[in-house]
């Protein structure tokens, strides 16, 4: 009896359309494009800031307007999706064992949200927004 195993080809590009769980994964991964773009924008802002007040003011003027606001809103939505999707899986990476029991994952997730809120408020405070 001869062996002739059959290997099924795997699509290198279309695999993530095959199941909702793969689409969920890609929706998380694709956020890096928007967050990367925003990081570049921040680098530009720092560069212009280092050139002085006038350069920074002109940079701020350049990114004003409804289209910029819309772009930043889209970035914010993707950033929040990135953050929440990672926060929600943190119990897998950092289980907390107390005696013979494990702390329920919801407390680990909640701790991340709590730190996020505190850090965000601190940033807003130092920026003079609150």
Partner 1 sequence: MNARMVELDVLRYDPEADNEPHFQRYVVPCAEEWVVLDALNAIKESIDPTLNYRWSCHMAVCGSCGMMINGEPKLSCHAFLRDYDGVIRVEPLANFPIERDLITVADDFIDKLKRVKPYLIPARNEPVPEGEYKQTPAQLMKYRQFSMCINCMLCYAACPEYALQPMFLGPAAIALAHRYNLDSRDSGRDERQEVVASNAGVWECSFVGACSEVCPKAVDPAAALQQVKVASTIDWFKEHLLPGGGK
Which residues lie near partner 1 (CB under 8 A)?
1-8, 10, 12, 15-16, 18-19, 21-22, 25, 29, 89, 91-95, 97, 99-102
CB distance 109 to 90 below 8 Å: yes
Residue with the two structure tokens 């909702």: 20
- The structure tokens 């940033």 sit at 123
Beta carbon of residue 113, minimum distance to partner 1 (angstroms, whole number): 19
* Residue nearer to partner 1 on the CB measure, 14 or 66: 14
**CA distances from residue 14 to 9, 20, 21, 24 in whole angstroms, order as listed:** 12, 13, 14, 14
State in angstroms the smallest separation of the CB of 95 from partner 1: 7
- C-alpha 105/C-alpha 115 separation (Å) is 16
| Residue (65 or 95) nearer to partner 1, CB | 95
For partner 1, which is the closer residue by CB, 20 or 129?
Answer: 20
């Amino acid at each position: 009896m001869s062996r002739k195993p059959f290997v099924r080809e795997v699509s290198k590009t279309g695999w993530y359309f095959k199941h909702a769980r793969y689409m969920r994964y890609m929706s998380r991964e694709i956020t890096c494009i928007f967050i990367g773009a925003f990081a570049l924008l921040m680098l530009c802002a720092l560069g212009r800031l280092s050139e002085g007040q006038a350069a920074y003011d002109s940079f701020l003027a350049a990114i004003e307007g409804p289209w910029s606001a819309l772009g930043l809103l889209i970035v914010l939505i993707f950033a929040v999706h990135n953050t929440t999707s990672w926060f929600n899986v943190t119990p897998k990476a950092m289980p907390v064992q107390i005696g013979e029991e494990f702390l329920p994952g919801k407390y680990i997730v909640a701790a991340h949200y709590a730190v996020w809120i505190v850090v965000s408020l601190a940033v807003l405070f130092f920026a003079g927004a609150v």
